[in-house]
């Protein structure tokens, strides 16, 4: 049986799964890091593959960008395919100056401007979307073992890539300071568009979830990066994610 947006049969997708946004990144991960990878879906060209890493079955499923697209794929992975360890591997925009372009970040928590939490809890509570502690602590240990520096902290999942949170005169600015500056004061390291949904949906299904990123752009410093540098930090992030996903 397939699900509405995934051609895989139940059993085709491993319990352990990496979640990049970009279908071509899914293909690159499968071809570069997995053994005997087989594509199980190409519906909408949103590819998914299953192979093995160090002998352990593992899948990689593209999700598209933003909470609405991401949530479709992840809800079906949880409900239909019974995925148990989900690790998003994506990019984020640096906000804090403590974060540099190409850094690898791990989202301990995912603050959000999305209505998702209100849709799930009806406005009664401000649920805190957090990483699974076991995956988080293992990822940090694996990064150390691989000699790859990582930063861990709170990030923000936004619904609009093009918002005015950087503008002191934007709707949430006070004329002197932008919302982004306030968020950085409160410890937000970076911005992306999916992780709060991953943490909420996985929690609801009793599954473990973690999000790891490379910093692809920086909202304050506007640092630049070469394609080769981006590829190196992307591969570092994938190694941390794979080593963490296969552990029991
Ligand atoms: N904003 C939102 N999402 C992102 C960004 C950004 O600057 N960079 C990578 N994902």
The two structure tokens encoding residue 99: 């974060």
- The minimum-distance atom of ligand 1 relative to the CA of 192 is 3
CA of 107 to the centre of ligand 1 (A): 14
Return the bridge partners of 106, or none. 152, 212
Cα–Cα dist 156/170, whole Å: 18
Q: What is the CATH number of domain 16-245?
A: 3.40.50.1580
Asked whether 92 lines ligand 1 (CB < 6 A), one says yes
Closest C-alpha residue for ligand 1 atom 6: 93
DSSP-based three-state secondary structure for 111: strand
CA of 144 to the centre of ligand 1 (A): 26
Sign of CA dihedral 105, 110, 114, 116: positive
Asked whether 193 lines ligand 1 (CB < 6 A), one says yes
Asked whether 21 lines ligand 1 (CB < 6 A), one says no
pLDDT value at position 228? Answer: 85
Which parts of the chain have pLDDT scores under 50? Answer: none
Domain range list for the chain: 16-245
Closest C-alpha residue for ligand 1 atom 7: 93
Closest C-alpha residue for ligand 1 atom 10: 92
- Contact (CB, 8 A) for 18 and 30: no
The two structure tokens encoding residue 79: 């409900």
Cα–Cα dist 220/96, whole Å: 8
pLDDT value at position 226? Answer: 86
Cα–Cα dist 190/145, whole Å: 25
């Amino acid at each position: 049986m397939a699900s509405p947006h995934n051609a895989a049969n139940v059993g085709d997708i491993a319990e352990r799964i990496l979640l990049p946004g970009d279908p071509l990144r899914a293909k690159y991960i499968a071809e570069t890091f997995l053994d005997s990878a087989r594509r199980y879906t190409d519906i909408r060209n949103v590819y998914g593959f299953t192979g093995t890493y160090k002998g352990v079955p593992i899948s990689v499923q593209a999700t598209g960008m933003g909470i609405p697209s991401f949530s479709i794929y992840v809800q079906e992975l949880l409900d239909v395919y019974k995925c148990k360890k989900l690790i998003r591997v994506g990019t984020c925009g640096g906000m804090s100056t403590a974060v540099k372009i190409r850094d690898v970040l791990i989202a301990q928590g995912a603050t959000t401007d999305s209505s998702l939490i209100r849709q799930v809890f009806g406005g009664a509570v401000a649920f805190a979307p957090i990483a699974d502690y076991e995956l988080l602590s293992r990822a940090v240990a694996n990064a150390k073992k691989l000699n790859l520096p990582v930063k861990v902290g709170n990030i923000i999942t936004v619904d609009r890539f093009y918002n005015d949170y950087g503008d002191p005169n934007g709707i949430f600015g006070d004329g002197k300071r932008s919302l982004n500056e306030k968020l950085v004061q409160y410890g937000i390291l970076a911005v992306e568009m999916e992780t709060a949904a991953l943490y909420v949906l996985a929690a609801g299904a009793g599954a473990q979830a973690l999000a790891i990123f490379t910093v692809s752009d920086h909202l304050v410093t506007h640092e630049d990066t070469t394609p080769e540098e981006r590829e190196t930090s992307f591969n570092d992030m994938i190694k941390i994610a794979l080593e963490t996903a296969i552990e029991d």
